[in-house]
Amino acid sequence: MSHPALSFKVTRQSPELIAPATPTPRELKHLSDIDDQEGLRFHVPVIQFFRQSHLGRGRDPVEVIREAIGKALVHYYPFAGRLKEVGSGRKLAVDCTGEGVMFIEADADVSMDEFGDLLQPPFPGLGELLFDVPGSGDMLGCPLLLFQVTRLTCGGFIVAVRLNHIMADATGFVYFMTAVGEMARGQPDVSVRPVWRRELLNARDPPRVTCVHHEFDQVEGTIVPFENMVQRSFFFGPDEVAALRNLLPPHLTRCSTFELLTAVLWRTRTVSLKLDPAEEVRMMSIVNARHKFNPPLPKGYYGNAIAYPAALTSAGELCVNPIEFALQLVKKAKNEMTEEYMKSVADLMVLNNRPHFTVVRSYVVSDVTRVGFETVDFGWGKAAYGGPAKGGVGVSPGFINFYIPAKNKKGEKGMTIPVCLPAEAMDVFIKEMNGLLETGRLARETPKKKTTPFITSAL
C-alpha cells in the first residue's frame, strides 16, 4: 500500500519542445466528427512506473525517451502540430506545423519502493510528476502532448504524459507510445503503421440521426460536487468477482466481468449518493467501435473510435432492485453499439453543434485492462504500473471510473478501480460494497473463509 502522506521533492529542468527527428509534411489535417465533440475536449493524464533493470544497460531514460519521441513523431507527425478551428460549426483540424511536443526532464528524491507494493491511483505528488506548464493546456494553439520523465533514486523512473483527448483514444495513444518504445529499443521502424483516415468517422451527407442517443439528452440539475471529495482504489480479483457473480440468477451468471462490475458499481454508487428516488440516472460505458465496422477500421487507426451508449432508469428503481436489474440495463446499452450507431453519433455531432454528453446524474466507466499501457517498453522491460494517472477526469473527479489491470499481494490478476466520491458517500459506498461481497461469499457451497478489506489506498 502506498502511503498517502508520502512527500518528495522533484527538480525539473525547463520545458522544451521535441520536434520530429526529420522533416515532416506541412499540411492541415481535419479531425473526424467523433474526435472533436465537446465531451472529448480535455486533457488525459497517463503515468508509467519503471523499475531499475539490467535491460537498460546503464542508459539514461531521459535521453533515450527524448530521442525516441523525436523519431516516433516522424511517423505520428500530427502530434507535433497544433489544433485550430476551421470553417463553421466549431470544426477542428490539426495544423501540422512540426513545432513538437512538450518535454520535461526531472529528478525526484524518492525511490520506487516508497510508492508502495501496490502501485495504483491516487498517486502522491502527481502534480510534481506531471507538471502543468502554465499556458500549455488549452485546446487551441498548444502542444498536443506533454511528457515528463522523472528519474528516481533507485535507478527506476516515471514517464507521465498528458494527452489532448481530441487526438486519440486509449487504443490510439498506446499505438503511439508503443512506437516510442520501439524507437527507444533501437528498432528501425514501427511495427504498426499509423493510419489517419479520420474521414471514416465523419458525418454522412446529408447527416441523419438513426439511433436513440440518451447519452446526449439535455438534463437539468447539478453534477457531483467537488467539495470534500476522497478517492479510494478497490481491487477486484477472482474471489471478489466470484462472490458478486453469486448474487445473480443462474441465467445471468455467464455475463462478462465488465458487465457485472459495471452493474454493481453503478448501483452501489447511486445508493451512496442518496439521490431522489424519482430522479433519472445514467450509466455510460465507453465502447471501442473499431471492430464494429464492416470491414473493421484499419489497424493503426489512432483517432477516437469510441462511443458511450447510455443505460438509464430512476434512482429508486436502480437502488431497490437486485443487481440483475442493473446488469440487464448495462448489457442492453452495450449491445447497442454498432457501425450504424457510430455513424448516427457523428451525424448528431454535426446537426447539434457537437454537444457534450450528459453529465447530470451520470456515471461513465472505461475499461482499459486490455489497452496495453503497461506493456509499453522503452528498453527497461514492461512497466510496474501503466495506466490512468487519476481515478477520474473531465468535468468532475467522480464522474468517470477506469478499470485498470492489477495484481493483488498474492499475485492474482484482477483489476483496480479508483472511485472518487464525497467523503460521506464514500463511507456508504464501502459499507454497501462490503455487504454485497459478504453476501456473495456466504452463498458459496464451499466453507466461508476469512476475508480481508479490499480497499487498497486512499487520499
Residue whose C-alpha cell is 458487465: 259
pLDDT band of 457, cuts 50, 70, 90: very low
Region 128-144: what's the mean pLDDT? Answer: 95
What is the pLDDT at residue 88? 80
Do 264 and 294 lie in one domain? The reply is yes
pLDDT digits (tens, 9 = 90+) for 206-247: 999 999 999 999 888 766 666 788 889 899 999 999 999 999
Mean pLDDT of the chain: 91
Do 176 and 276 lie in one domain? The reply is no
Do 176 and 238 lie in one domain? The reply is no
How many domains are there within the chain?
2
Range of weakest confidence among 70-74, 105-109, 452-456 = 452-456
In a domain, 231, yes or no: yes
> Is the pLDDT assigned to residue 446 strictly greater than 60?
no
pLDDT digits (tens, 9 = 90+) for 254-296: 999 999 999 999 999 999 999 999 999 999 999 999 999 999 9
What is the pLDDT at residue 452? 52
In a domain, 4, yes or no: no
Q: Would residue 319 be called left, alpha or beta, if left means φ above 0 and alpha means ψ between -120 and 50 degrees? A: alpha
Tell me how far apart the alpha carbons of residues 175 and 373 are, in angstroms, rounded to a whole number: 10
Do 176 and 281 lie in one domain? The reply is no
The torsion angles phi and psi of 175, rounded to 5 degrees, stand at -55, -45
Residue whose C-alpha cell is 486490455: 370
Q: What's the CATH number where 187 sits?
A: 3.30.559.10
C-alpha angle with apex 146: 142 to 151, nearest 5 degrees?
155
pLDDT digits (tens, 9 = 90+) for 160-189: 999 999 999 999 999 999 999 999 999 999
Between 457 and 436, whose confidence is greater? Answer: 436
In a domain, 3, yes or no: no
Do 171 and 226 lie in one domain? The reply is no
Do 334 and 275 lie in one domain? The reply is yes
Answer yes or no: 377 catalytic. Answer: yes
Sequence-ordered strand ranges (E) for 116-197: 145-151, 157-164
DSSP SS3 for 90: coil
In a domain, 165, yes or no: yes
* Domain of residue 85, residue span: 10-201
pLDDT digits (tens, 9 = 90+) for 330-377: 999 999 999 999 999 999 999 999 999 998 899 999 999 999 999 999
Which of 43, 165, 213, 214 is the catalytic position? 165
Do 45 and 128 lie in one domain? The reply is yes
> Is the pLDDT assigned to residue 118 strictly greater than 90?
no
| Last residue in a domain, options 155, 175, 201 | 201
DSSP result, 229-240: EEEEEEEE-HHH
Region 39-54: what's the mean pLDDT? Answer: 93
- 256-293 b/e with 16+ CB inside 10 Å = b? ebbbbbbbbbbbbbbbbbebeeeebbbbbbbbbbbebb
Closest residue by Cα to residue 389 from 167, 119, 183:
119
What is the pLDDT at residue 327? 97
Answer yes or no: 43 catalytic. Answer: no
Do 110 and 235 lie in one domain? The reply is no
Which of 30, 107, 217, 377 is the catalytic position? 377
> Is the pLDDT assigned to residue 398 strictly greater than 80?
no
Do 269 and 197 lie in one domain? The reply is no
Do 294 and 188 lie in one domain? The reply is no
> Is the pLDDT assigned to residue 150 strictly greater than 90?
yes
What is the pLDDT at residue 459? 41
Do 267 and 155 lie in one domain? The reply is no
